[in-house]
Amino acid sequence: MTRYEEQRRFLKSNFNEFKHIKTDKIKGLAQPPIVKLVDSKSSLIIDLPKVSKDVVCKENIFDCIDQRRSTRFYSEENLSLNELSYLLWATQGITGMNKNGLTLRTVPCSGATHTFETYLIIMRVEGIQQGIYRYLPVEHKLSFMFELAELEQKIDAITLDQPFVPNFAKKASVLFAWSTTPYRSEWKYDISAHKKILIDVGHVCQNLYLSSESIGAGACAIGIYDQKLIDEILELDGEEEFIIYLGAVGKKRK
Ligand SMILES: Cc1cc2nc3c(=O)[nH]c(=O)nc-3n(C[C@H](O)[C@H](O)[C@H](O)COP(=O)(O)O)c2cc1C
């Protein structure tokens, strides 16, 4: 098999094979937690403002879709905490529960497995100190993880070799970094989980693009990054949980 053929297999549906597999769910193994837990006693938890439409300046969905572009140049203006709250809700906010106790969110997801956690590298958000945070979707709060020394140099090192605008990510207000915990999907979908996870995360980033557009900000997806470095910086084990996609956001230049 050529390299291409081998990789293309991943893009195809393997449901006929999957049908015959006894998944961990069928075997009766315990379902993994639907979100990563946080120790609220030892962590600094930050309330996010209630999500409000007031932050939206471009309400028309047609205009948001039509005018969205990957944005790699940003203004000096910071994002407000209200705007960050809105972007987090738009990308991973919980809007319901299904009958199996799984979360339903602003983005679709295969089998409502929602394998993602949202880490934020915050550079310029009003009222929030620079550093690393994690979104807690159930509570709609932020967990402050730690400050990061030499933040800008670290972002350059993570988002290496950018093809269009070198080193743009550090100039954003916030860098979203989505991790996946594949077992949340593997438990149910076994060998079919992995293709689904990649499709799922595309929906998340598209909502980041459109919600950013609606508040006068611009987003840029980032698929070129140093896997090992970002996992190490965010203290992820790189096997059970690892980063799969990034998105930079900042206010647009007028
Ligand atoms: C999966 C994916 C990965 C991407 N990775 C990067 C990246 O690492 N750096 C970058 O500058 N743009 C990245 N982009 C943005 C694309 O370059 C951009 O979407 C494309 O050039 C089309 O431009 P538009 O989004 O303005 O329509 C990525 C987009 C996608 C969907």
Q: Tell me the average pLDDT across 160-171.
A: 96
* 17: in domain: no
* 19: in domain: no
Distance 224 CA to ligand 1 centre (A): 9
For residue 172 the two structure tokens come to 């954003």
CB atoms within 10 A of CB 145: 17
* 162: in domain: no
Query: Domain total for the chain?
Result: 1
Distance 221 CA to ligand 1 centre (A): 5
pTM of this prediction exceeds 0.95: yes
* 24: in domain: no
Specify the pLDDT at position 41: 79
Q: Tell me the average pLDDT across 73-95.
A: 98
* 71: in domain: yes
Q: Tell me the average pLDDT across 3-19.
A: 95
* 113: in domain: yes
> Quick one: which atom of ligand 1 is closest to the CA of 164?
11
Distance 58 CA to ligand 1 centre (A): 23
Q: Which residue among 200, 206, 222 has the greatest number of ligand 1 atoms within 8 angstroms of its CB, and so is best to mutate? A: 222
Specify the pLDDT at position 254: 84
**Model confidence over 168-181: pLDDT tens digits?**
999 999 999 999 99
Range of the domain at 98: 58-148+170-176+191-254
* 205: in domain: yes
Instruction: Round to whole Å and give the CA distance between 181 and 162.
Output: 26
Instruction: Round to whole Å and give the CA distance between 16 and 81.
Output: 47
Instruction: Round to whole Å and give the CA distance between 172 and 122.
Output: 9
**Model confidence over 16-60: pLDDT tens digits?**
999 999 999 999 999 999 999 998 777 899 999 999 999 999 999
Distance 226 CA to ligand 1 centre (A): 16
Mean pLDDT over each residue of the chain, to the nearest integer: 97
**Model confidence over 187-197: pLDDT tens digits?**
999 999 999 99
Bridge-based pairing of strands 116-122 and 141-146 is: unpaired
Specify the pLDDT at position 42: 79
Length of the chain: 254
Q: Tell me the average pLDDT across 207-234.
A: 98
CATH number at residue 211: 3.40.109.10
* 157: in domain: no
**Model confidence over 195-207: pLDDT tens digits?**
999 999 999 999 9
